[in-house]
Amino acid sequence: MTIRGDSSATGVNADATAAAARVRGWLAGARRCLVLTGAGMSAESGIAPFRGGDQALWARFDPARLATPEAFAADPDLVWAWYLWRMAGVRAALPHAGHRALAALAGGHPHLQLVTQNVDDLHERAGSAGVVHLHGELFALRCAACAAPAALPALPAAGQAPALRQPPPRCRRCGGAVRPGVVWFGEALPAPAWQAAEAAARSCDLVLVVGTSGLVHPAAALPAIARRHGARVVEINPSPTALSGAADLCWRATAAQALPLLTDASAKPGG
């Protein structure tokens, strides 16, 4: 995956009531729907996104030292300690109403494919099944040398001051260093995940893009692929992004505010 573009584009904004009504109508009429989520989806669960504001991860930490295969080779103890800290944070986090709304939406829409760039498991814990993880899964540890799966070690308590360095566990098969199951910068996405996501983009009528800056490729290309194949694109994000200009509708709201308004329950009179 690589970074491309900027976040300066603006799209067609809509207020919450109008946006919710319009998107519910589009959802009802869509034969196939793709939902693409990014780090903003998890923000209201207390997991900091990578970009946007001084609390964002890549404003506080250097991705070149933490999120590349070269960084892990150069300083595995630093990288492993950082991922232990992140794993502990994710373990302590809970899915929010937006995660639950997406699981409910899929229940009522047999052809809704949820594709996430997030490496946490909040969609699954909210009840979503068949989630495509484009950037891997934090807890799917494997050996950096032989790719054998590895067991999760004890995690530090969330909120505990993180260790700056911690040696990664060793692979039980070959003795190599164990790494997190994420896709780092410069690495290829897992082929089955990308193929599933691209197929969903080509065949859907509607894309909901939730909480992504749209700067990291190839994931950020999915809405444009869908659009070229005739789909409508809706962006749900409190801020403009690199994808806003190509959206049919930009709904300036957070994931937990907007997504519950799309479920059947909220569509009922008085709901």
Q: Under the criterion CB under 6 A, does residue 252 sit at the interface with ligand APR?
A: no
Given candidates 19, 20, 30, 50, which one binds ligand APR under the rule CB under 6 A? Answer: 50
Q: Which of 96, 99, 123, 135 is catalytic?
A: 135
Given candidates 40, 76, 89, 260, which one binds ligand APR under the rule CB under 6 A? Answer: 40
Q: Which residue, 135 or 232, has its beta carbon nearer to ligand APR?
A: 135
The least CB distance from residue 154 to ligand APR, in Å, is: 25
Q: Which residue, 58 or 111, has its beta carbon nearer to ligand APR?
A: 58
Is 135 labeled as catalytic in the residue annotation? yes
Query: Of the ranges 43-51, 75-83, 139-147, 159-167, which one interacts with ligand APR (CB under 6 A)?
Result: 43-51
The least CB distance from residue 241 to ligand APR, in Å, is: 5
Q: Is 179 exposed, middle or buried (CB count within 10 Å of its CB: 0-12, 13-18, 19+)? A: buried
Comparing C-alpha atoms, which of 142, 128, 217 is closest to residue 182? 142
Binding mask 126-165 for ligand APR (x = CB under 6 A): ---------x------------------------------
Question: Which residues of this protein are in contact with ligand APR, per CB under 6 A?
Answer: 38-40, 43-44, 49-52, 56, 117, 135, 211-213, 215-216, 237-239, 241, 254-255
